[in-house]
Amino acid sequence: MTNQLTNPNEKYYTVKEISEMINVPISTIHGIVKRIMPNKKKLGKTFIFTELEVSEISKELKKAHNIDITSTRKMAVTEYEEAEIVANAIAIMHRKLKELQPKVDSFERFISTENHISIGEFAKTNGIGRNKCFEMLRNNGIIDGKNIPYQQYMKYFIVRQVEKNGILFPTAFINAKGMEYLKGVVL
């Protein structure tokens, strides 16, 4: 078949290939070929088109049917390529899900504990150490030396009495509004 073609180095297309590239019925392509290339000879049982002829078909499709073959050809994707794209997207989603899982777990704990978490939990959720978080909050003037928030920041915290070894200690917990605010301060 290639020995009958004028230039074996040139890319050739069949009607079926053009049809699949641009998602147009084969009959539409045949109709255009008969109209604009009445002397076109079949090579065996099918027509074979050069890039130049595909360009002519493209112009006619654009004129007659408002279809741009050049843009649709670039968008044409084989089923294999499509499956590969989907597989890559799924792999990315799984990596992202794995990355976000600690935050999801922390949020779940947050929801289940009356809408507040400890400062230590907040630090762990955001990837910084507990002591470093307390230090940053102290340096920014949000908590005092006993790790209790100053009055102007109380809208971001709840202070509860927590028992340790039979002794009650005031302990600060961060509420939902505080989580958002403190992310900007310590991160």
| Residuewise pLDDT in 10s, the chain (187 residues) | 333 556 667 778 888 888 887 778 888 888 888 888 887 777 666 778 888 888 888 788 777 776 655 554 444 456 667 777 788 888 888 888 888 887 777 666 655 556 788 899 889 888 899 999 999 999 999 999 999 999 999 999 989 888 889 899 999 999 888 888 888 887 7
- Within a domain: 17: yes
Count CB-CB contacts under 10 A for residue 125: 19
In angstroms, the CA 129 to CA 137 distance is 12
User: What is the count of structural domains for the chain?
Assistant: 2
Q: Which residues contact 75 (CB under 8 A, 6 or more apart)?
A: none
Angle between helices 130-139 and 176-186 (to 10 degrees): 80
Q: What is the CATH number of the domain that holds 48?
A: 1.10.1660
In angstroms, the CA 135 to CA 132 distance is 5
| Three-state secondary structure of 63-124 | HHHCCCHHHHHHHCCCHHHHHHHHHHHHHHHHHHHHHHHHHHHHHHHHHHCCCEEEHHHHHH
Range of the domain at 130: 113-186
Integer-rounded Cα Rg, in Å, for the chain is: 34
> Taking every pair of C-alpha atoms in the chain, what is the biggest distance, in angstroms?
101
- Within a domain: 101: no
- Within a domain: 86: no
pTM of the predicted model, to two decimals? 0.41
- Within a domain: 126: yes
- Within a domain: 84: no
- Within a domain: 94: no
Q: 68 and 122: one domain? A: no
Burial of 174 (0-12, 13-18, 19+ CB in 10 A): buried
